[in-house]
Structure formats: structure tokens, C-alpha cells
């Protein structure tokens, strides 16, 4: 069923069907310039998912799309999902739910802080109901008993697991593949958090392209288990790279920031320090280590996340 669905729709027509009120831009495929690429006879492109919308850019919309489709068709117009204080996923969910007049409830990890993060304030502006869940309780959010309790308290709803980590989320992310499936890339690179987007791109890969996931977390040791849970076809060609997390989630170093600045000067493309900059450092380093054979045509997916850079804005970072 789902396979057919993916065949029939270009992502943009599906997105337009589900969210007719919002204008989304088609993402460009920008060619990147760097002497290193020429020297190694490589072509590198970037799929600019960061450009599709000023608020919900990147991969989050794709992971949500089939949940939104379901919510629109259901009678109980209520979505419940989970995330941390700085979750791009919570923000994206709040925004699209408001547009669709679907009630959204965000379960936030940890006690309510005295001062809410910009992300949580954004969620409130978009009429998301926030519920704070203690860290101990939060560990159980995928357990049956916890989910049953949520059902008792809030009634019928559509549940989106944290970060969209689910088969539906994977299928939505798989739609991204259609933006480049006719371009014969030898490698497709993307940053990995929950691995939902990675799973979607591995699953929808139809040819010999190697899908390369770059972990932004320090201890992501269970990628095979995650793929199994998401029923990913593991005969497909993929590799998981965990050497470029820079100390762990949302950690940054001067080297990383310097790279972002140089990359911006050369390509006029902003990267974010939590995800896309780490992937790009990894890609460049692997080129230097001769991972890619001459003639390779590599796609890097800009998965968005630029709101995470607000802390850098005051430094006139991107000038
Ligand atoms: C959430 C996010 C990711 C990670 O996606 P997963 O599907 O959770 O692996 C990557 N890049 C950006 C910019 C994100 O916001």
C-alpha cells in the first residue's frame, strides 16, 4: 500500500494536498565548490531541504506528513507527541497542527523550567498544550502502561513517538528520495539523530547508491536494532558513521564553528552546528581519507535545523 503511495505522489503534491494553506518551496540541488572536491575528481551536491519553508524546514515535515494525513481524515483531531526542551520536532508539530486546526499536546522531557526555551515558547504561540514529564517517567514513554494512561487522560488521539521514530515517520522521510532519485548519485549523506530519516532513505533506495548516515550522538550503538524496529530492508546499501559527533548531541568545538564559517563563505549556505555541520566535516574528512573513488557523485542532504543557530546570531556569525 505505502509503496504505491510513494510511487504516485511527488512529495510536493502530497504536501500540498495535506497542507494546502502553506506555501512550500521546491528544494534546490546546489553544487558545492571546494578545491578538495576538484582535486579528488568528485562532484558534491546539497539538497536544500532547509529552504522549503522559513519555519518548518528540513526533514521534520516529511516525518510528520502521513500522521497529518491521518489526523485530517480522523474524527478525533488531536495529536500527542514527545520531545526535549529544544526539540525541532515539537516546534514543527505545533506549527503544522495549528495550521490544520488540529489540537496538539507536547509531552516535554523534564520538570517545567522557570524560564521556557525559545522552542517551547514557539510551541505555546502555536497553541500546543505543553505537559512536563519527569525524566524518570519520560523513560517509559514507549511502554504500554504509559500510553494507556495517556489514553485515559486525553482520550482518543494520534500518537507520534519522539522524533517521529516510527514506520509512518520512516515512510514520510522516504519521500525525500524522490527529489533526487533520477540523478544517479553514488552516495547520499545525511545526519542521524533518531535514525528515522536515515531509515526512510535506506528503505526507498532503489539502486546501488550508498546511503551514509552520520551520527550526531556520541553513543548511538543500536542502529541495527532501530532499523529492525522500523522494518528497514537491510539488504540495501548503507553505512553508518559515528566518528564525527564532536563530543555528543548539541556539543560544539571551535573547529566545528570555524568550518561552518568557511563553508558559508565558500558556498553561501548556512549549516547548523547540531546536525548538518557535523555531517559536512565528516564528508570532507572521508574525502581526505580516500573513502570515495574518483568520479563519485555525492549528495549531502541539508536537513534544516537552522533555528538552532539563534545562539550564534548575536556573534554576526554568517557574514
Ligand atoms: C531532527 C533532525 C535530524 C535528525 O533526524 P532523525 O530522523 O531523527 O535522524 C537531522 N537534521 C536536522 C536538522 C534535524 O532537525
Average pLDDT of the chain to the nearest whole number: 92
Confidence check: pLDDT of 272 > 80: yes
pLDDT of 16 reads 87
Confidence check: pLDDT of 311 > 70: no
Distance CA 149, CA 146 (A): 5
Distance CA 103, CA 172 (A): 21
Q: 56-70, 198-212, 305-319 — which is least confidently predicted?
A: 305-319
Is the pTM higher than 0.85? The answer reads yes
Distance CA 70, CA 78 (A): 11
Please tell me whether residue 118 adopts helix, strand or coil conformation: helix
- CA contacts within 13 A on the Cβ side of 20: 2
Ligand 1 atom nearest the C-alpha of 306 is: 13
The residue whose CA is least distant from atom 13 of ligand 1 is 305
pLDDT of 121 reads 95
pLDDT of 298 reads 98
- How many angstroms does the Cα of residue 109 sit away from the middle of ligand 1? 18
Confidence check: pLDDT of 186 > 50: yes
Arithmetic mean of pLDDT, 48-54: 93
Q: Which of 52, 95, 197 to mutate to test the pocket of ligand 1 (most atoms within 8 A of CB)?
A: 197
Confidence check: pLDDT of 180 > 60: yes
- Local confidence band at 4 (pLDDT 50, 70, 90 cut-offs): very low
pLDDT of 229 reads 97
- How many angstroms does the Cα of residue 103 sit away from the middle of ligand 1? 24
The span from the first CA to the last CA of the chain, in angstroms, equals 48
The residue whose CA is least distant from atom 5 of ligand 1 is 193
The residue whose CA is least distant from atom 4 of ligand 1 is 193
Confidence check: pLDDT of 7 > 60: no
- How many angstroms does the Cα of residue 216 sit away from the middle of ligand 1? 9
- Local confidence band at 244 (pLDDT 50, 70, 90 cut-offs): very high
Q: Which of 67, 88, 193, 241 to mutate to test the pocket of ligand 1 (most atoms within 8 A of CB)?
A: 193
Q: Which of 46, 164, 200, 304 to mutate to test the pocket of ligand 1 (most atoms within 8 A of CB)?
A: 304
Ligand 1 atom nearest the C-alpha of 50 is: 13
Domains and CATH numbers, the chain: 2-55+176-318 (3.40.50.1100), 59-164 (3.40.50.1100)
Q: 68-72, 165-169, 275-279, 310-314 — which is least confidently predicted?
A: 310-314
Tell me if 274 sits within 8 A of 305, measured CB to CB.
yes
Arithmetic mean of pLDDT, 9-34: 88
Q: Say yes or no: CB of residue 304 within 6 Å of ligand 1.
A: yes
pLDDT of 12 reads 80
pLDDT in tens, 67-78: 999 999 988 789
Amino acid at each position: 500500500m505505502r509503496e504505491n503511495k510513494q510511487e504516485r505522489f511527488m512529495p510536493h503534491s502530497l504536501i500540498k494536498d495535506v497542507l494546502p494553506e502553506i506555501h512550500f518551496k521546491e528544494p534546490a540541488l546546489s553544487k558545492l565548490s571546494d578545491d578538495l572536491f576538484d582535486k579528488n575528481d568528485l562532484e558534491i551536491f546539497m539538497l536544500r531541504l532547509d529552504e522549503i519553508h522559513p519555519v518548518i524546514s528540513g526533514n521534520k515535515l516529511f516525518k510528520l506528513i502521513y500522521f497529518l494525513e491521518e489526523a485530517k481524515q480522523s474524527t478525533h483531531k488531536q495529536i500527542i507527541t514527545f520531545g526535549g526542551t529544544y526539540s525541532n520536532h515539537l516546534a514543527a508539530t505545533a506549527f503544522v497542527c495549528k495550521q490544520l486546526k488540529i489540537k496538539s499536546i507536547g509531552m516535554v522531557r523534564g520538570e517545567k523550567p522557570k524560564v521556557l526555551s525559545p522552542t517551547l515558547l514557539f510551541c505555546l504561540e502555536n497553541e500546543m498544550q505543553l505537559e512536563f514529564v519527569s525524566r524518570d517517567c519520560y523513560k517509559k514513554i514507549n511502554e504500554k502502561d504509559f500510553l494507556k494512561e495517556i489514553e485515559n487522560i486525553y482520550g482518543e488521539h494520534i500518537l507520534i513517538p519522539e522524533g517521529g521514530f516510527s514506520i509512518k515517520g520512516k515512510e514520510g522521510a522516504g519521500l525525500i528520495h524522490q527529489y533526487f532519485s533520477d540523478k544517479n548519485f553514488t552516495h547520499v549523506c545525511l545526519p542521524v539523530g533518531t535514525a528515522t530519516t536515515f531509515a526512510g532513505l535506506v528503505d526507498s533506495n532503489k539502486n546501488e547508491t550508498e546511503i551514509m548516515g552520520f551520527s550526531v550522538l556520541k553513543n548511538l550503538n543500536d542502529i541495527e536494532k532501530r532499523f529492525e524496529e522500523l522494518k528497514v530492508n537491510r539488504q540495501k546499501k548503507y553505512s553508518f558513521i559515528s566518528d564525527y559527533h564532536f563530543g555528543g548531541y548539541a556539543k560544539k568545538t571551535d573547529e566545528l564553528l570555524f568550518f561552518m564559517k568557511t563553508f558559508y563563505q565558500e558556498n553561501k549556505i548556512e549549516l547548523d552546528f547540531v546536525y548538518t555541520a557535523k555531517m559536512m566535516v565528516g564528508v570532507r574528512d572521508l574525502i581526505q581519507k580516500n573513502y570515495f573513488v574518483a568520479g563519485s557523485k555525492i549528495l549531502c542532504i541539508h536537513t534544516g535545523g537552522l533555528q538552532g543557530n539563534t545562539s550564534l546570531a548575536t556573534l554576526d556569525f554568517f557574514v
